[in-house]
Amino acid sequence: MKIETREYLGRFQKSADELDKLVNFNQKELVYNVGIWLDSVVLKIQNRSWLNTSPETKPFEESVFFSVWLNDESIQKGKIYYNIHALKLRQLTNYSIKSREFSNAFRLRFMPFEKQWPNVSVDFGPLTLMEGWVPFDHEHIEKLVADLASNFLEIAVIIEDLLKERKK
């Protein structure tokens, strides 16, 4: 990883710290993590109810989560990426979920919000519910990351509702 990891981790953390100030973030019981994942600096967000409750479960693995990330390749392309992953949904013990059906239901409910997400696509398999990017702007990276995370707050209810409908 060649990017200035420490610098971008700090800047992503500043964006994440702004989330704590948002009433909607805390009311929705969302949690976040900033770190390195697959050679990328990442901010991940999810609700604790979107993952297994066993002590062995690691956040952001068997779950649904939103992420914003950058890496050497994305910087070269002039992009910061974002997406929503739905990983190992069949293994979520409190739910009865078929991955493809869940992803199709999400995409249908996401359609009215698509215009609010720059360069977004839903043309993926069931593990990536949506993905897009915004232009990389080194000077304003904290705002870009915070804006994407805030935007996620508006659609987190889609995931919450879909999971409630599939609760055992």
Per-residue pLDDT tens for 39-48?
Answer: 899 999 998 8
Do the strands 40-47 and 79-87 form a parallel or antiparallel pair, or are they unpaired? unpaired
The neighbour count for residue 92, using CB atoms within 10 Å, is: 24
* Tokens describing residue 74: 């994305």
- Taking only the tens place, the pLDDT of each residue in 46-95 is 988 887 666 565 656 668 999 999 998 999 999 999 999 998 888 888 88
The neighbour count for residue 10, using CB atoms within 10 Å, is: 13
pTM score: 0.90
